[in-house]
Amino acid sequence: MIEKALKASLVRILVPLVRLLLRYGLPYGAFAEIAKRVYVEVALKEFTIPGRKPTNSRASVITGLSRKEILRIQRFPELEDEMGEDLPANSYNRAIRVISGWVRDPEFSDDDGQPAVLAFEGETSGFSQLVRRYSGDTTPRAVLDELLRVGSVEQNDEGKIRLLSRSYVPADGDAEKISILGNDVADLIQTIDHNLQGTPENSRFQLKVYYDNLPAESIAPFRSLSTKQSRELLEFFDRELSSKDRDTNPKSQGTGQYRAGVSIYYFEEDMLKQNPEEENDE
């Protein structure tokens, strides 16, 4: 029963993923090779017998691949090493930190509490100071160029920089958008996996609301409403987390190093296009 449910879930995951892969020209052979290598790496790292070293024989048993194939795969660098530094994801994280600081830090706000228009260099509250405070060792010019490129800010003839969007969504960079896909979907699957293995007491929040017989006229208003309220909630969470994060608040005390957050996404689907034979006669 579990295997049947897993296969059905895998099909639902793969349909939109394969649609994306085909759109960007990634053939089945490349997908299969990556999947095979991930199977081997995860088996050897995470599914060992306690107290014993990982073996190719055990990896062969649990993955269904031959030991010869596992040996071949091990001759390659690990996938993360081979892919190199995930530059699109790093750009995303840096940009989000800078925009978040601009929105919530009173030092970079105007008299109305809104993100101020900033000079590139200021005595205490210029764009360069903002970047140094919230983006580590990245140069202010590099961050500005990135935010200008994706349309999150504008710079006037006097060099003043205005925030145009409180969100960082690359306008024309497919590589950046695809990198966000990998990060966000991985987080969701890890949460579901945690909840499958855990108990109600240590479960992670995982909830959605949807209806599937909505009139077309209700979609645009709900899309606007959900965007507005979701952004307000995420900005609240951002203020809470940033006050504890050591990068943005070096005075934060405590042990260990965790990554935590909340992700909200909106979805919609035209059910009549999916099931034209089920059109409502009314």
Top CATH class of 87-163 equals mainly alpha
pLDDT band at 217 (very low <50, low <70, confident <90, very high): very high
At residue 73, the 3 state secondary structure works out as helix
Model confidence pLDDT, tens digit, residues 158-204? 889 999 887 766 655 566 677 777 888 999 999 999 999 988 889 99
CB neighbour burial string for 32-61, b if at least 16 within 10 angstroms, e if fewer? eeeebbebbbebbeeeeeeeeeeebebbbe
Average pLDDT over residues 120-145: 85
pLDDT band at 92 (very low <50, low <70, confident <90, very high): low
Tell me what pLDDT residue 91 has. 60
Listing DSSP states for 130-171 in one string gives: HHHHHSTTS-HHHHHHHHHHHTSEEE-TT--EEE--SS---S
Q: What is the dihedral of CA 187, 189, 191, 194, to 10 degrees?
A: -130
Burial (0-12, 13-18, 19+ Cβ within 10 Å), 180: middle
pLDDT band at 86 (very low <50, low <70, confident <90, very high): very low
Residue of 85, 154, 99 whose CA lies nearest to 130: 99
Tell me what pLDDT residue 173 has. 58
Tell me what pLDDT residue 275 has. 58
In the numeric block, the tokens 């795969």 are attached to: 73
In the numeric block, the tokens 């896909």 are attached to: 181
Predicted TM-score (pTM) of the model is 0.68
pLDDT band at 87 (very low <50, low <70, confident <90, very high): very low
Q: Give residue limits of the domains in the chain.
A: 2-83, 87-163, 208-278
Asked if 236 contacts 243 with a C-beta cutoff of 8 angstroms, the reply is no
pLDDT higher for 225 or 179? Answer: 225
pLDDT higher for 40 or 76? Answer: 40
Burial (0-12, 13-18, 19+ Cβ within 10 Å), 130: buried
